[in-house]
Amino acid sequence: MRQHEPESPDWLELVREKVQTLRFGVVQIIVHDSKVTQIERTEKTRVNAVDAHE
């Protein structure tokens, strides 16, 4: 008999989505009383530095 795999929590799917669409940055998971209460995503945009001597 095949065992039923437990479903992942909703917040885990949100984290996956935020990580998959992020090129450079940070995804933070905020926990309060052992429960995930907030997910924050900070995206960084990298630009080529212009040489100051030009």
Residue range 16-37, pLDDT digits in tens: 999 999 999 999 999 999 999 9
Please, which pLDDT band fits residue 47 given cuts at 50, 70 and 90? Answer: confident
Domain contains 20: yes
Whether 53 is in a domain gets the answer no
How many C-beta atoms surround the C-beta of residue 36 within 10 A? 15
In a domain, 48, yes or no: no
In a domain, 15, yes or no: yes
Q: Does 50 reside within a domain?
A: no
Domain region containing 34: 10-43
User: In the chain, which ranges are continuous DSSP H helix?
Assistant: 10-20
Handedness of CA 7, 38, 27, 43 (dihedral sign): positive
Q: Is the pLDDT of residue 38 over 70?
A: yes
Strand, helix or coil at 27?
strand
pLDDT greater than 60 at residue 52 = no
When divided into structural domains, the chain yields a total of 1
Q: What percent of the chain has pLDDT over 70?
A: 76
